[in-house]
Amino acid sequence: MRVSYGDRPVPSMLGEHADLDEAWLKDGWLPLFARWLLDATEYVASDGGRITEPNAMVLGTVDAAGVPATRTVLCKGVDERGIVFFTNYESAKAQHLSANPAASATFPWIPLARQVHFRGAVEKISSEETLAYWRTRSRGSQVGAWASRQSQPLGSRDELLAAAEDVRERFHDLDELPVPPFWGGYRIRPFVVEFWQGGQDRLHNRIRCEPKDGTCQVSRVQP
């Protein structure tokens, strides 16, 4: 597969003279990240296989004792401010973020031999932004969000199914479920975004972008 960024061809597969140029970051990290996310979404392998959940990212947080934890979440918003994900505000990750409001997020697009890595400060998004996203979710997902006390111990699966049934019953006469008070979005405001493109003989490309005051300091890093 060949894709292009601007007027430059981007050979995107490992072994195809994979390239990554500092100039691609002249307008900051967002255009290139958006392009690569789109490439991952549209990617079709020669056997017809696709990248499942191309917006999945491995989110790293650090707990109050300084011990890191990672898990996968879905990126549901991207703009010049950063990247957004949604979760339970009482989950383990939320507790980590209240102790240490910083995170990493890695998009591993292995079939494209690409990776994008973010590190940044984390903040809760506004309730208006959360509501706008909440309304796009299916009623089933909304019920699931209400029913789960994410990261808390659960005696049995039946307990969870019963909790979901209680939620359905509680809101059965409402057209729209309200946003749970314990659920919403976080934004990672990156202080560094690193693009990685695999190259021949492990001579990979790593280009780092450090956004500051509306500009982006671009540097190349040894593979």
Ligand X SMILES: Cc1cc2nc3c(=O)[nH]c(=O)nc-3n(C[C@H](O)[C@H](O)[C@H](O)COP(=O)(O)O)c2cc1C
> If binding is defined by CB under 6 A, does position 71 make contact with ligand X?
yes
> If binding is defined by CB under 6 A, does position 74 make contact with ligand X?
yes
Decide: 190 and 211 in contact? Cβ < 8 Å.
yes
Choice between 71 and 168, CB closer to ligand X: 71
Largest Cα separation within the chain, whole Å, is 62
The span from the CA of 147 to the CA of 162, in Å, is 9
- Asked if residue 26 belongs to a known ligand binding site, the reply is no
Least distance (Å) from ligand X to the CB of residue 134?
Answer: 13
What stretch of H or E contains 197? strand 183-197
Tokens of 10: 């981007």
Choice between 54 and 198, CB closer to ligand X: 54
- Asked if residue 192 belongs to a known ligand binding site, the reply is no
Exposed (0-12), middle (13-18) or buried (19+): which is 86, by Cβ within 10 Å?
buried
Q: Of 29, 33, 36, 85, which lies in the binding site for ligand X, with binding defined by CB under 6 A?
A: 85
> If binding is defined by CB under 6 A, does position 98 make contact with ligand X?
no
Quickly list DSSP for 67-121.
Answer: -EEEEEEEEEEEETTEEEEEEETTSHHHHHHHHS-EEEEEEEEGGGTEEEEEEEE
List residues with catalytic annotation.
202
> If binding is defined by CB under 6 A, does position 130 make contact with ligand X?
no
Segment interacting with ligand X (CB under 6 A) among 1-9, 41-49, 89-97, 203-211: 89-97
Q: How many residues bind ligand X (CB under 6 A)?
A: 16
Tokens of 193: 């975004």
- Asked if residue 212 belongs to a known ligand binding site, the reply is no
Residues between 34 and 63 with contacts to ligand X, criterion CB under 6 A: 53, 56
User: CB within 8 A of 163, min separation 6: which ones?
Assistant: 147, 148
- Asked if residue 3 belongs to a known ligand binding site, the reply is no
> If binding is defined by CB under 6 A, does position 93 make contact with ligand X?
yes
> If binding is defined by CB under 6 A, does position 183 make contact with ligand X?
no
Binding site for ligand X (CB under 6 A): 53, 56, 69, 71-74, 85-88, 91-93, 150-151
Binding residues for substrate: 76, 133, 137, 141, 202-204
